[in-house]
Chain A
Amino acid sequence: MKTPLVEFRSVCKTYYMGDDIVRAADNISFTIYENEFVAIVGKSGSGKSTCMNIIGCLDVPTSGTYLLDGRDVGQMDKNELSEIRNEKLGFIFQQYNLLPKLNLLENVEVPLMYAGVSKSERRKIAKEKLEMVGLGDKLRNKPSQLSGGQQQRVSIARALSNHPSVILADEPTGALDSRTSREVLAMLQDLHKQGNTVVLITHDNSIAATAERIIRLADGKVIYDGPTADAFKDEHVGGVGA
């Protein structure tokens, strides 16, 4: 059967801003299974960034339980969080977040380095992944010598380098024009077809439509969770409701 990878059970996240309590995530529950392609959609302030931080193990819930591949992330200390990020997650950021002083190979090697993979092995994997995203001829270039789309492909290669359980893409097309956006999205779809679990976080419905399943957030709550096909009908309902 399908293995649950990302499990949110009544996850809440509250921040204190002065005297006000902000409920960024308010009792969110959902489960993402292996080999799913899920888009988490919401306007700014809907809580999707909070969700993304918690899924990405960059933050822990205030209450509720988050299980990543069966492990309770809420109970982890900072070191264990670093470890699980390294082991289970592949990040693709809106701003690519490549290290500007390192060349492409070295950039892709970073997660492997923290995983303790030997230098020669790292080189081999990094080369392989970069060739996979079509940048095999630019291994020694610096990120600044590449176009935005190419940089995002590097960050995809980096996200894949340590065979993560979940690929977490945070607005991956936010900084790209529509043509390269389509390329990057097609690449995510390919990854999904190859058996990877992809979680796409976006505010843009048309981008979200690439996914198979949509989880829509508003005001820190899940207002829709279902197949993409039905999502836009509900969007109107949700829109009116809000």
Chain B
Amino acid sequence: MKLTESFSLALSNIWNSKMRSFLTMLGIIIGIAAVMVIVGLGNGMENYITDAFSSIGTNVITVSVTGSGSSKTVTEDDIYEIIEDYPDWFDHVSPTVSMRSSVKIGSDTYSRTSATGVGEEYFDIYDYEVAAGRELRYMDMEKRENVCVVGCYVDEVLFDGQALGDTLRIGGKVFTVVGVLDQIDDEIDEGGSDDAVYIPYSTAARLSYAGSASTYLVTTDSDDLVDAGKEIIEDELYEIFRTDDAYSVTTLSTLLDMMTEMIDLVVLVLTFIAAISLVVGGIGIMNIMLVSVSERTREIGIRKALGAKERYILTQFVIEAAVTSAIGGIIGILCGYGLSSLATKVITQMLGETLNVVPSTMSIIVAFGASALIGIVFGYLPARKAARLNPIDALRHD
């Protein structure tokens, strides 16, 4: 007897009890679909984050200096010197100082408007262009000028488009608006990238009593140099501090890696939970196969009397279980696709952002393989029971 015949026999047996077969498959269907959607969701999130990061620029290195564990200090000039020593690697550098004080215009306080002390190259790093007036300059840093460049939200909404030349206050100091930036976000919004005020880092450092900036943004000439650049900065800072507690150098790619890792972990845990339903589905298959064996005892007896070897009966039942489970797997994969595209639509509608839920080919192959394997594993016990039936007793069975 050929294997193909066992398959067609299995298929016709499954077809003969459609409803029962479907119910048996249900556990597998749900399990496979759940695994696919979860893995797809994880992929979608990773893609989304990668896209979001690459739009910011992946050639940016963030250097954060705390000085903890060391008596040494590092000033802006030290950092500038390090960067200038490697002109082939680095492109731009800018200290940044986040201001805690709110921005005040007249008697109104705008707590959501961000105020940041930056270097003159900051605007080059992010490709910000001025729409009117000028950018911050080296001389502004040198002289600790009380000047500022504002985002277009600040100009249009807070100053009614008349910001240039007007003044605002940060931490009690009065700053003159010398430039207005082009729109950055697709829509200008309170608290967005356009709702920002930039002042010279030197002025900001003094205002925040820190004395010097603690964070620096450095860009490399190309994305490929990011890792090398990161190492250079780390080495140079270690030379100064002699301890790696005093600073941290991160790139968007390390941040990206961290986030991807976290998503992967969450996906793994969720997949594991979903996989439990696959096991439950397998037990369901075993259960039904056991029922099927005792229902078909007489048939097994007849077949054995007519010359079926134990091996044939075993193969027939194992294949039947595996085919049931594999069909469940295929239906599950189709459901997984359906649910994935539904999830894509729902999430896109809810977030207003495109997040594609894409089940990976790998997850589909693994899911299908797992479902067939579950059938074989959980079908084996009932099949062995069937194969070992004594033909005389089986023939007598009603």
**Which residues does chain B contribute within 8 Å of A97, judged by CB atoms?**
298, 301-302, 305, 395
Q: Indicate whether A232 reaches chain B with its CB closer than 8 angstroms.
A: no
**Which residues does chain B contribute within 8 Å of A115, judged by CB atoms?**
307
CB of A102 to closest CB in B, whole Å: 9
Please list the 7 inter-chain residue pairs (A to B) with the smallest Cβ-Cβ separation, ordered nearest first. Answer: A86-B307, A114-B307, A82-B309, A111-B306, A97-B302, A79-B309, A85-B307
Do the beta carbons of B16 and A101 come within 8 Å of each other? yes
Q: Which of B289-340 contact A (CB under 8 A)?
A: 298-299, 301-312
**Which residues does chain B contribute within 8 Å of A78, judged by CB atoms?**
309-310
A82 CB contact (under 8 Å) in B12, B299, B308, B392: B308
Do the beta carbons of B395 and A82 come within 8 Å of each other? no
Q: List 15 A–B pairs whose Cβ atoms lie within 8 Å, in order of A's numbering.
A: A53-B392, A56-B305, A59-B392, A82-B309, A83-B309, A86-B306, A87-B307, A101-B16, A110-B302, A111-B306, A113-B1, A114-B1, A114-B306, A114-B309, A114-B312
Name the residue in B12, B301, B310, B392 with the highest tally of chain A Cβ atoms < 10 Å from its Cβ: B392
Q: Indicate whether A66 reaches chain B with its CB closer than 8 angstroms.
A: no
**Which residues does chain A contribute within 8 Å of B12, judged by CB atoms?**
101
Give B398's nearest chain A residue, CB to CB.
Answer: A95
Q: A99 with B302: in contact, given A79-B310, A115-B307 (CB under 8 Å)?
A: yes
Q: Which of A47-87 contact B (CB under 8 A)?
A: 53, 56, 58-59, 78-79, 82-83, 85-87
B307 CB contact (under 8 Å) in A53, A82, A99: A82
Q: Which of A78-109 contact B (CB under 8 A)?
A: 78-79, 82-83, 85-87, 91, 93, 97-99, 101
Q: Secondary structure of the B side of the interface? A: helix
Do the beta carbons of A91 and B16 come within 8 Å of each other? no
Q: Mark B349-391, 1 if CB is under 8 A from A, else 0.
A: 0000000000000000000000000000000000000000001
- Where the two chains meet, the residues of B that have a C-beta atom closer than 8 Å to any C-beta of A are 1, 5, 12-13, 16, 298-299, 301-312, 391-392, 395
**Which residues does chain A contribute within 8 Å of B1, judged by CB atoms?**
113-114, 116
Do the beta carbons of B306 and A91 come within 8 Å of each other? yes
Do the beta carbons of A85 and B305 come within 8 Å of each other? yes
Q: A82-B309, A101-B13 are in contact. List 20 more A-B contacts (CB 8 A).
A: A58-B305, A58-B392, A58-B395, A78-B310, A79-B309, A79-B310, A79-B311, A82-B304, A82-B310, A83-B307, A85-B307, A86-B306, A91-B305, A93-B395, A97-B305, A97-B395, A98-B302, A114-B307, A114-B309, A158-B306
Give B312's nearest chain A residue, CB to CB.
Answer: A114
Give A88's nearest chain B residue, CB to CB.
Answer: B307
Do the beta carbons of B303 and A110 come within 8 Å of each other? yes
Q: Secondary structure of the A side of the interface? A: helix
Tell me, in angstroms, the Cα distance from A82 to B12 when the chains sit together.
Answer: 24
Give A50's nearest chain B residue, CB to CB.
Answer: B392
**Which residues does chain B contribute within 8 Å of A85, judged by CB atoms?**
305-307
CB of B328 to closest CB in A, whole Å: 22
**Which residues does chain A contribute within 8 Å of B391, judged by CB atoms?**
58
Tell me, in angstroms, the Cα distance from A79 to B309 when the chains sit together.
Answer: 5
Tell me, in angstroms, the Cα distance from A80 to B304 when the chains sit together.
Answer: 12
Do the beta carbons of A114 and B310 come within 8 Å of each other? no
Tell me, in angstroms, the Cα distance from A96 to B302 when the chains sit together.
Answer: 10
CB of B292 to closest CB in A, whole Å: 12
Tell me, in angstroms, the Cα distance from A101 to B12 when the chains sit together.
Answer: 9
Q: Which of A16-58 contact B (CB under 8 A)?
A: 53, 56, 58
Give B308's nearest chain A residue, CB to CB.
Answer: A114
Do the beta carbons of B299 and A99 come within 8 Å of each other? yes
CB of A110 to closest CB in B, whole Å: 5
Give B8's nearest chain A residue, CB to CB.
Answer: A119
CB of A105 to closest CB in B, whole Å: 14
Give B9's nearest chain A residue, CB to CB.
Answer: A113
**Which residues does chain A contribute within 8 Å of B13, judged by CB atoms?**
101
Do the beta carbons of A111 and B395 come within 8 Å of each other? no
Give B307's nearest chain A residue, CB to CB.
Answer: A86
Tell me, in angstroms, the Cα distance from A17 to B303 when the chains sit together.
Answer: 28
Name the residue in A86, A98, A158 with the highest tally of chain B Cβ atoms < 10 Å from its Cβ: A86
Q: A110 with B310: in contact, given A53-B392, A116-B1 (CB under 8 Å)?
A: no
Tell me, in angstroms, the Cα distance from A110 to B302 when the chains sit together.
Answer: 10
**Which residues does chain B contribute within 8 Å of A119, judged by CB atoms?**
5
Give A113's nearest chain B residue, CB to CB.
Answer: B1
Tell me, in angstroms, the Cα distance from A114 to B305 when the chains sit together.
Answer: 11
Give B309's nearest chain A residue, CB to CB.
Answer: A82
CB of A142 to closest CB in B, whole Å: 11
**Which residues does chain B contribute within 8 Å of A91, judged by CB atoms?**
305-306
CB of B85 to closest CB in A, whole Å: 82
CB of A125 to closest CB in B, whole Å: 14
Tell me, in angstroms, the Cα distance from A88 to B303 when the chains sit together.
Answer: 15
Tell me, in angstroms, the Cα distance from A91 to B306 when the chains sit together.
Answer: 8
Tell me, in angstroms, the Cα distance from A173 to B62 when the chains sit together.
Answer: 95
Give B301's nearest chain A residue, CB to CB.
Answer: A97
**Which residues does chain B contribute within 8 Å of A158, judged by CB atoms?**
306
CB of A157 to closest CB in B, whole Å: 13
Give B302's nearest chain A residue, CB to CB.
Answer: A97
Q: Mark A195-216, 1 if CB is under 8 A from B, else 0.
A: 0000000000000000000000
**Which residues does chain A contribute within 8 Å of B298, judged by CB atoms?**
97
Tell me, in angstroms, the Cα distance from A101 to B292 when the chains sit together.
Answer: 14
CB of A51 to closest CB in B, whole Å: 13
**Which residues does chain A contribute within 8 Å of B301, judged by CB atoms?**
97
CB of A150 to closest CB in B, whole Å: 18
A113 CB contact (under 8 Å) in B5, B299, B392: B5
Tell me, in angstroms, the Cα distance from A119 to B8 when the chains sit together.
Answer: 13
**Which residues does chain B contribute within 8 Å of A114, judged by CB atoms?**
1, 303, 306-309, 312
Give B16's nearest chain A residue, CB to CB.
Answer: A101
